Every structure is written in C-alpha cells, then in structure tokens.
Structure 1
C-alpha cells in the first residue's frame, strides 16, 4: 500500500465529509433538527478523527475530538441546537477544512491553533445540560422505542473484544506503523492484554527489518460497536488478515483465526486466547484447530463450508467483511482518475482526430472506395471515443453552486440582511476545467448582488417588498452553450448614475444616449464604481473587470438585464468544452475558417440582387431582419471570383446574424488549439485548429461577430431610421446581447 496514496484518499474523503457537514448545517432548522441529521454531523467528526489518528495527525485528532464531544452531547439532548451553536459548528468545519488544506500543502498544522475557537467549544461543553423541550423529549423516547426492536444484541458499555491482527508483511514498508492502530484504539477504550506471536521468523541474512513477521492477539474493552472497530483498520484491511469478535463468542472461531498459521503459531494463538479467557477447559474447542494445522494432510475446506460449520448463534464481526464487501462493490461503480491523466488522454485524442482527418483526406484523393469506407469507419470510432472521453470531464455545476449557501449566509448576516438563496439546474454539466475557473467570477457577482443589489429589510418593506430578499443561481443549456444566471429581486442598477459616471470618466460621450445594454456594460471597466463609500465587500472599483476578463478567457460573454425596483440578472454564456468541438468549415477568399457547429442554424444562398452599401447590410429572412457581415471585407482578405456566395445563419442567445462566405465545406471535428499571447487582443478569433492537409484554420468567435454585426446595423439604422433603431435597441436590451 502506498502511504502517499492513502493520505490523498484521506484528504479527499475528509473534504467530502466536510462538504456534507456544511450542507447539513446550512439546511438544518434548529427548532426541528432530527436525530439523523445530528448523527450525520457526529459521524463526520468521528470519521475524520479516526482516519487522522491512523496517520498520527495529533493536531487534527485533538480538535476533532473536542468537536465530536460537542456533537455527542448535542445528539444526546444535553445541548439544544440554536443559531449560535450552528455558527460555532460552522467555525469548527472551517477550522478542520483549513487543517486539511494545510496538510495537503505540507504546512505546519500547529500554526493553525485557534485558542478562541477552543475556548468557545469548552464553554459549551462545560455548560449544564438544559432540560429538553417536551416535544423533543417525546420524539427521543419514540425514536428509542422504534430502534429498540432492531437492536436486540446491543452491546453493553465496556464490552470485551478479542482482536486477532495479522498485519500484512509490507505494512512497515508502506509507511504504516501497527503501533499507531493500538494507540488509536487506546483513545476509544482500554487495551488490557497484548500477545505478540512470531510468524515464520527468518534466521540470519534472510531477516528483513522492513518486513512484518508478527501477529498481535489483543484483549480490548470499549463501548464502541463492531462497525467502528472495523473502520479503525480500513486502510490495511486489504493487505492484512484481521478478525474482531466479542470475547464471549470468540472461542468457536479459533480454527478460522489459525487457518493460515503454522502449527507453532497456532499453538501460541491458542495459549494467548486461553489466557484471555476466550477458551474453556473442554477439549472440543482446542481440537478445532487440528484440521487446519497440516495443510498436506487434508485440503483446507472452502470458506463457505467453514462458516457454515462454525455459524454462531448471534451476529458477529465475521459478517462485517460481507458488509464491507457490499460497500466496496457499490463504490466500484466509480473510479477516481487523476485529472492530469485525463487531460493527457484528451490531448492524444485530439492528435488522433487530426491524424484521422489527414487519412480521410488522402483516402478521398486516392478515389479507392474500400479505403474511403475504412477511413470513414475509423473516423466514426474516433468520434465516439472523443465524445465518451469528453463526457468524463463533464461535471455538474452543482460543484460550484454548493459553496454559495454558506457565502450567502455569512455575507447577509454581516450586512444585517435576510436573504433566501434558490438554486436551479445544479445538475447541468460542463467541462471540469471551466468549473474550476468559474468559482471566483461567480463569487464576486453573488457578493455584489448581496451588498449592492438587495436592499436592507426596512427599505424593502418601505417599497412594499417582503423583508426577505431572494437570490437565484440558475444553469441550463441553450444552443450548444451553457447559460449561468445570477439574479436578485433587489433595486436594480441605477442607469442614470452609471451613465453619469461613465461620462465623467470619458467612457461615453456627453451627447450619447446608448441603450441599457451598453450603459450596464460600463460597470466592467477597470476602476469603475458608483459606491458612495468603501465596505469590506466592495466599493473600490475592482473586481468586475476581473470577472469579465475571466469569462472572456473561457470564450464566454456576460449580459446584464436590470429593471429599477425589480432586480438584476447577470447572464453568463459559455461553451460546453474548451478541448474538441464539432465545427463547420467555410472558405473566405483563399482562407479557411471554422464556425462552432452548435452556432450554425442554416445555410442559404446570398441573393444576387442584394444592394451593397458597405461592410454591413441586411436581408429579410422569413419576416425577420437579419444583419449580414461579409467576412471577406471584415478581415480585409483579397476577393476571389465566385459563381455564388452563401450566408451562414449563426445564432448566439436570442440574436442572429448572417455571415457571408465564399464556399461551404461541411462539418469537421475541430481540435481547439489556443492562440499565443500575441493574438490575445483579437476579438473575432477564439482559437485555431489543424486541418487534414496540415494547414492552420482559425476558429471564429461567433458571439463577438454577431454582436459586432448587430451593433453596426443599429448604428446605420440610427442615421437612416431612428425609430426603427430605437425599437431594435429596446428589443436587444430584453432579448440578449
């Protein structure tokens, strides 16, 4: 067993447990807390403490032990849950989380000592227990009555146990000290006797100091149950032979304990058990070990047969491996893979896509039907592999959303506001690499919504609103993209104030009367702030520009809808993945470009009688005004003679535009290659790819092109038909960018 791997497993499981604990504390109603919730909180601290004890992490064990005592009194009714105690438990959660992170960073845990937090814990532990409320007392009695029939064999306090521990030969080599397990057992009960039995101890040069040659027979007393005892040895169970039985029922299992022992070892175990009091004076129990001693005399009976012969009258711990096996079978449905390995696999699949495209091109040029058919079959398999591999990187956005209930709770209480968070679409999936980069932008938007967007309770009530504000986090798929909305029912953005500030800074002209969509985008300018004073949360004019830059690095956009007195919605649109996409190849002049296929609605022929009045014009597409963007003129490419040109109708959100191209080549699996920093300022290009010919094709940024085309068309209409331009601008404000 690899100790570093075991440590990483411990860290991951601890983080999962802490996430569950935080979720329970944020959802729990102190007045209606049920026993299952309190037991789950206790198990979190108990499990982390036990696992930390196996690694000798005394700082984590010491603190979690205090928190465990508090939760134990809470579930026993000695403490009453209230908002203050929930806050203290959240502080305990944060402290353990900090220690786990420090352990992962190889930092000093002792430096995280929090005397104030420990003092608060001790104050609760030393307080006299309150009298339980009548309804709580009756509920506890009912729960005890309900649980009593299901636990006829409940163990009395300080039950004696016999532990037969034969650790694997590599336990020391893997960095685990068997004595650490005994030290941890001593914190849960008392070790009364230990007998060390040598197992095939070599002599001379064959002796290896890093190999374990001992088995331990232990007489142990504790009030913990069988499952907890088995969990102590979870990290070494696969490499070791471990048995745990109640002392009074251990004698019939002597043959099982000595099944793989030499005659001398079996005799030593028998004597140890007799000294523990596990064996009586009758010879039937002693003779039970005889069939297992000489392996050559008679084959060892199957384990199923042995269990049938020695089946006890009551449930014992030899049923625990079956339960553990069932748990492992359930967990085997999921396999944790290092993210770097998955990224490497996706990169290789990207190269495979490029090589497959080159092979397919050569096959078509050869005009050999069988070769073309074979390359098409390979291309189909590559596409399936690509889709399956990319799906492995897709995770639910709830991974981000789950951190915000705590943020909303803490920030709203700091500001004296009552805010209810609503989460919708947490099961929506997107690329994990994007999830990791979305946390900070969303956090800043949420904090701004709480600080600036939602009013204080007196102001809300004065405007006829409920005192409790609402904040929504919503995610859904739309047109091959993922849309994330952060909405509130606050006072909305102050258009006139933002416009005045923008004019003051020279961002907009004094005579300009831009639509709301343009005005609201000014808040993303660096240093822009309309706050009268600086708070701990905001007001310095930093943050929103970083938010926009972070979203643009993910090839996404941010839209803002706001209505005075009704609230504000920030709408983030992002691609589903940044690795491999389905593309649509087009020719413009002598150059080839790629459009994301999910943005392509349809392709139509460019009318030959269309008047040309500059770079931008429009057509009537089935009663809808469709702005056109001639890509050849836009990119200033040399024109070519073409019998016909085509319009690719592209859509992003609620907006559409027609991109005029010279030729259509069709669908193409596109491996996204990022552009260098030299091209980072380009707004219409989102990346590049390699074609089957080995040439480089640029991937067009459809949202930027559509916004550019629509904005230029509005500017043109503003000079020719102001009323029409105003209608379109208002529509843009409500329907999209």
Structure 2
C-alpha cells in the first residue's frame, strides 16, 4: 500500500466514524435495531481492515476488541443497552483520536495508549470479559488475536501482475493476516516468475502458500484480502470443515463489510474529486459566462441574424454547463445536521437537562462551501437553544410540558434560497427583559414603538446578553452577533421568531451557491451595481413629489405602506447629477421591505462573483464585484448591510467613503 493512499484511508475512516456515531446515538436512545448494530460493526470492521493494510497495529488492536464486543451483540449474546452504547461512543472517540494521530504524522503517546487501555478495561468489565491489563496496545493485540489451538487454515493466494500498479502491497496483506492468528508455515510460490529478459519490475509474479492457526472463521480470513480481491486468485480451505460449517451462517454476515475503495462492480460510478480542482472548474466556468456575455453583446452590435442565433445557442449551453458544474458542489445537509446529535447529547448531559434533537429536510442540498461555513453559526444557535431556550425538567413539568425538551434542525428550499431553521420548545425570549437591557446599554432610548421582531433583533447586537449568570456555554454576550456577521458574509440573512413560554425559532436564509448568481443590473451615473435577483420584489418610478432638493426624503407611500429607501448616489458619493427619471428597486430581505433609488434599470444577468481585495473588504454595502460583458466593472450590493443602514435612525455615509467617478 503506497503512502499516497493514506489520505484516502484517513478521509474514509472519518466518514465511517461519523456513521458509527450516528448509529451509536440511535442505540443510546433505545433504538438498537439490527440495522444500527450492523452499521456500527461494519464501520469498526472496515476501519480495522484498512488499518491493517497500512500496518497501523495500534488501531487494529483497539478496534478488534470493540469489533469482538459488537460481534457478540449481533449474535444476541450481549444486549445493546444505553450503558454499553455510551461506552462504545467513548471507544469510537478514541479511534478517532488514533486516526488523528496518523493524520498528523505523529506516534502514539503514552497518555493515548493509557487512555485506550482504560477504555478496554471499562468495556470488558461491562461486558463481563476479563479485565484488560496490557501495558500497551501491542500486548492487547497479542491477547486479542490469540489463536485457538487445533483450528488451522490453508490459504493459497496468487497475486495478479497488475496488483503493484494498482497501489497494493502483497506483503501488507500477509502482515495483516498474522494479526488474525499465528502463521505456522509460509511458502513463496514463484512458478510464474519469468526469465530475466522478460521481467517487468512493476509487475507482480508472486504467490503464497500459508498455514494459519486462528480462531477466526473463513469469511473473516477472506476479509483480510477484501481490498485486493479483484487482483488475486484466492483459495481458503479449512482442516476442520465441520467446525466451519457450524459457524459459517453467522460469520457470513461479515462479507458485506467493505470500504469505499472496494471496487464492487463495473456499475460503481462514484468518484472522489479534490475540492481545489472543483473550485478551479467553477472559476473557469465563471470566466466562460463572462466571455459568453461579451460575445452576445458583440453579436448584437454586428446585427447578423445567424451570428445572433449562434450566440444564443452558446449562451444556453454555457448556462447548462454552469448549472451542472454547480451541482457537483451541491451536497446534502443531512450529515452536517447529524453531527449535532452528539453536541446535543453531550451538552444536555453537562448541564443536567433532558433534550433530544429532531432533524427535518436532511436531503436538502446546498453548496459544500456554504455547509462548511454555516457549521459554526449553527453550533452557536444549537448551544444557545440548549442553555438558554430549553428549561430544566422540573420547570417544564411545572409549566405543563414534557420533561424532555426538543431542539429541531430543519432545512428547505424557498424562492431560490435555502432556509435553515433552529427551533426549540423552551421558554422563549422575554421582550421586557431584552428592552431593559437594550436601554441600559444605550442601544435604544424607548422601546414602546418597536415591533416584536425589532426587539428580538437586538440580541444580535455585539456583546448583548440577558443571561443572569455566565456558564461554560454562554452568557458572555458573544455568539449571536457572530452568527449574524458570519451569515451576512455568506450573503444571507437571519430572522428570529419567539413566543414567551412556547419557544424560539431562528431562521437563516442563504443563497444556493457563492460562485455564480442571477442578478439584476442597475445604473447610477456611470457606475453599475448588481442586486441578487431573488431579493428583488418590484420596480417603481420615484415621483417628483418624493425628490426633495435637500435629499432628506427617506421614504415613500407605496400602496398605503411606508417604504424606506436609500440613495446609492449619496452612499457612494457618485459625482454625477441625478437623472431626470429615477426608479426605486423594491427589496424584500429578512422579512423587511425597503427601496434602493437608481438612475437606470438595466435588466437581468448571470453574475460571476469576484471577492473584493482586503483594501475594500470592510466596506459596508458591497459584497463583491463582477465583470460585465462590456468589460466594465460592476459592484455586487450587500443587501443585508444596506437594510441595516436603511432602517437606522439616520442614513450615515459609508465609511470609508468611496467616490465613484461618472
């Protein structure tokens, strides 16, 4: 096995450990069905097998003991109760630490080995086995793999010539086989060795005849060769066939333990792609979108009908390629949600509450980059719901609720966006306490005219907290402002609904992707701006009665409703006179409506988002830039920031102020 395969082993082991954690949490909650137990066993078995191929004896030894316990559970010889599931969760965490040591290129330290020994002692005591008293994992391995006397197997294996080119090392399989028992005889088969002139140094001509003393069954021994099964001819014969037949039925279940690197059939169409390569592809497609727009403009200017038709076909193909490329980065949010099962379990135990996590919309897809970026904000919200939202069991009973609280994570698509909700059935937010704290901190002077949503939005202010005491989880006034800042950085918005005594729901709305968006192009003077199309509700003309000469007019009456607005010309100090006819683009964002006054409405377009340099990254109101088909630069508006500016008591200029020449 080559070193280049090690990162794949680490990635797949972590995926298996994540699946193992989900199944163990189900068992701990009393849902220890056969599927969950088999999933745990398969994960442990595959990790052990893969570790053996790399000579990671510490992982092999520890995981083998866990696997043996799980085998007893599968055989109904040991019940999977909550106590055992909790211990196995600790064992799963230890395997994850062992894999992490391999990923960091470090050697197992004494503390890690001692921790593993203590876990095995705990596991053996619970399952009624002998106490593990090994001084290190190598001794544990020796005890774990001791062969039963008299049980012998004859193994004949001939490796195919391409096995080395496929990244497999034949000796690693023999080394792993020795962990299943004692190799009493090993003979090299060289009958396929060619003459020196025909010898290919990259080809394999070797085979082995092996005598193995082991207490393992045929399928377990055959499993040692599972990663090379397509690249060898294998024959296993037992000298105690009768004993094998008595146990074969149960051991046959181990055959379905396969890793993701196992080539099961020609129909396996999955392919692991490096994320950087995928990002590069998206960038190139973005450039293709820009180049296609430029070609379309040129064709229109030329006035040739055939050329126009060709560019239209090209534009359609570019759009299809764009959509397919973006789908490559779309992944389901379910695995991310599932990680919070462990967070809820551990935190609830830490603070002495009874809480369960419910998940909805796990199949909802969004950009992988977004999923990675939203994990921290979700963690803040979940921990906040557990600590501040859900009451203790006694309080809940006194209020007529069930003792067990519920935190719910749900995702769904809505109007071209992805909505993620974090809800709890706890005590809800207390409006009066929030108002009192906001007045005390000088955030507001009088809250009597504020709506509930405006009051609740105050908790997103930096340092704001109504917690009566500081805990390890929260109460220091950090977290909610970070949530809003991080979500806004993703061109998203945060909404909050709460009812005292019934619970709170935080709603995060995100774009489907961060790479390419459908935009609405507007012009002010000689400058162009792009507004995300899904936020545009309508466009109306700004009447002369609303165009005050001193520029103090900040709202209009739109069909009986007050619509505040901002002027891009003033915000960015654009040095040009206002157009004779101005328009208002009506925006709906985070449940609020406001307007943006512009000179021209230039229509819809596909926009490739380019990040701003560090020099301009802190400018409020601008979220990125793009190159139009004409080669002109257009700025992409950061709508959530504009909303904050619009709803503030006075419209402050952007700092630092930008002057955009006409």
In the superposition, the TM-score normalised over structure 2's length comes to 0.84
1:598-609 to 2 correspondences below 5 Å: 598-607=534-543
User: Paired residue for 2:484?
Assistant: 548
Are residues 1:616 and 2:551 paired? no
Check whether the contact 2:159–2:204 (CA below 8 A) recurs between aligned residues. Answer: no
Answer yes or no: is 1:596 the counterpart of 2:532: yes
Deviation of 1:576 (Å): 1.6
Residue 390 of structure 2 corresponds to residue 454 of structure 1:
yes
Asked if 1 retains the 8 angstrom alpha-carbon contact of 2:555 and 2:562, the reply is: no
The aligned counterpart of 1:73 is 72
- Conserved 8 A contact 1:616-1:713: no
**Counterpart-to-counterpart distance in 2, 1:111 and 1:495:** 53
Q: CA RMSD in A?
A: 3.5
Q: Which moved more, 1:677-686 or 1:382-391?
A: 677-686
For structure 2, the 5+ residue unaligned runs are: 130-149, 242-251, 653-662
Indicate the residue corresponding to 1:62 in structure 2: 61
Alignment map for 1:177-576 (pairs within 5 Å):
177-199=169-191, 201=193, 212-220=204-212, 222=214, 224=216, 227-238=219-230, 240-246=231-237, 328-329=264-265, 332-509=268-445, 514-576=450-512
Q: Distance in 1 between matches of 2:447 and 2:593?
A: 29
Report the 3-state secondary structure (helix = DSSP H, G, I; strand = E; otherwise coil) of the residue aligned with 2:175: helix
How many angstroms apart in 2 are the aligned matches of 1:26 and 1:579?
A: 36
The answer to whether the 8 A contact 1:161-1:221 is kept is: no
- For residues 647 and 483 of structure 2, the distance between their equivalents in structure 1, rounded to whole angstroms, comes to 24
- 1:146 corresponding residue in structure 2: none
Q: CA offset at residue 207 of structure 1? A: 6.9
Other-structure match for 1:33: 32
CA distance in 2, matches of 1:651, 1:519: 19
Aligned to 1:705: 642
The CA distance in 2 between the partners of 1:213 and 1:327, in whole Å, is 22
Shift in Å, 1:487: 1.2
Deviation at 1:127, TM superposition (A): 5.9
Alpha-carbon contact 1:423-1:474 (below 8 Å) kept: yes
Q: In structure 1, how many angstroms separate the alpha carbons of the residues matched to 2:79 and 2:240?
A: 40
Q: 1:169 to 1:481 in 2, by over 3 A?
A: closer
Partners of 2:428 and 2:288 in 1: CA distance: 50
Alpha-carbon separation, structure 1, partners of 2:586 and 2:267: 47
Change in Cα spacing, 1:25 to 1:331, as seen in structure 2 (3 Å) is farther
Alignment of 1:715-734 (within 5 A): none
Partners of 1:672 and 1:689 within 8 A in 2 = yes
Q: For residues 128 and 607 of structure 1, what CA distance do their matches in structure 2 show? A: 80
Change (3 A) 1:614 1:528: closer
Query: Can you list the C-alpha shifts for 1:663-713, whole angstroms capped at 9, x where unaligned?
Result: 222221101011123323333221110111211101112333345445569
Greater helix fraction, Structure 1 or Structure 2: 1
Larger Rg: 1
Q: Tell me which residue corresponds to 2:618.
A: 681
Mapped partners of 1:381, 1:417: distance in 2: 55
Q: Distance between the aligned counterparts of 1:246 and 1:85, measured in 2? A: 36
1:121 aligns with 120
- Residues 433/35 of structure 1: CA separation in 2 closer, same or farther (3 Å cut): closer
Does the 8 Å CA contact 2:30/2:82 hold for their aligned counterparts?
no
Shift of 1:158: 4.3
State the Cα deviation string for residues 487-526 of structure 1 (Å, max 9, x = none): 1111122333333333333333478864444443443344
How many residue pairs end up in the alignment? 616
8 Å contact from structure 2 (residues 382, 422) kept in 1 = yes
Query: SS at the partner of 2:586?
Result: strand
Helix, strand or coil for the counterpart of 1:334? Answer: coil
Contact (CA 8 Å) 1:482, 1:575: kept in 2 or not?
A: yes
Tell me the secondary structure at the aligned position of residue 418 of structure 2. Answer: strand
CA gap 1:712/1:480 in 2 versus in 1, 3 angstroms: farther
Partner of residue 694 from structure 1, selected from 621, 631, 634: 631
Which deviations, in whole Å up to 9, do the C-alpha atoms of 1:437-470 show, x marking residues without a partner?
Answer: 1111111211111111111111111222221111
Bigger drift between 573-582 and 486-495 goes to 486-495
Instruction: Please tell me whether the aligned partners of residues 366 and 512 of structure 2 are also in contact (alpha carbons under 8 angstroms).
Output: yes
State the secondary structure of the residue aligned to 2:233.
strand
Choose the corresponding residue for 2:585, options 648, 664, 673.
Answer: 648
- Aligned pair in 2 of structure 1 residues 23, 477: CA closer, same or farther (>3 Å)? same
Distance 1:392 1:535 in 2: 42
TM-score, scaled relative to structure 1: 0.76
Is residue 84–residue 126 contact of structure 2 (8 Å, CA) maintained in 1? no
Give CA-to-partner distance per residue, 1:531-586, whole Å, 9 cap, x none.
Answer: 33332222333333333322222122222222222222222222221111111111
Query: How many Å separate the matches in 2 of 1:448 and 1:32?
Result: 27
Change (3 A) 1:503 1:654: closer
Highest relative contact order (Cα 8 Å, sep 6+), 1 or 2? 2
Secondary structure in 2 aligned to 1:698? Answer: strand
Per-residue CA deviations over 1:223-242 (Å, capped at 9, x if unaligned) read 6555544432233345x332
1:166 to 154, 159, 168: 159
> 8 Å contact 1:615–1:630 — kept in the other structure?
no
| 1:83 Cα offset (Å) | 2.1
- The whole-number CA distance in structure 1 between the counterparts of 2:530 and 2:510 is 18
Question: Which stretch shifts more, 678-687 or 380-389?
Answer: 678-687
Mapped contact 1:417–1:457 kept (Cα < 8 A): yes
Q: Secondary structure, in 3 states, of the residue corresponding to 1:63? A: helix
Q: Residue 300 of structure 1 corresponds to which residue in structure 2?
A: none
Structure 1 unmatched ranges of 5 or more: 131-156, 251-316, 716-737
Superposition deviation, residue 619 in structure 1: 3.2
Which position in structure 1 is the counterpart of 2:146?
Answer: none
Distance of 1:481 and 1:469 partners within structure 2: 29
Q: Does 1:662 align with 2:654?
A: no
3-state SS in 1 of match to 2:301: helix
The verdict on how the C-alpha distance between 1:194 and 1:8 changes in structure 2, with shifts beyond 3 A counting, is: same
Q: 3-state SS of the aligned residue for 1:187?
A: helix
The residue aligned with 1:19 is 18
Is the contact between residue 478 and residue 653 of structure 1 (CA under 8 Å) also seen in structure 2? no
The residue aligned with 1:632 is 569
- Confirm or deny: 8 A CA contact 1:188 1:222 kept in the other structure: yes
Deviations 1:217-264 (A, max 9, x none): 3344656555544432233345x33222436899xxxxxxxxxxxxxx
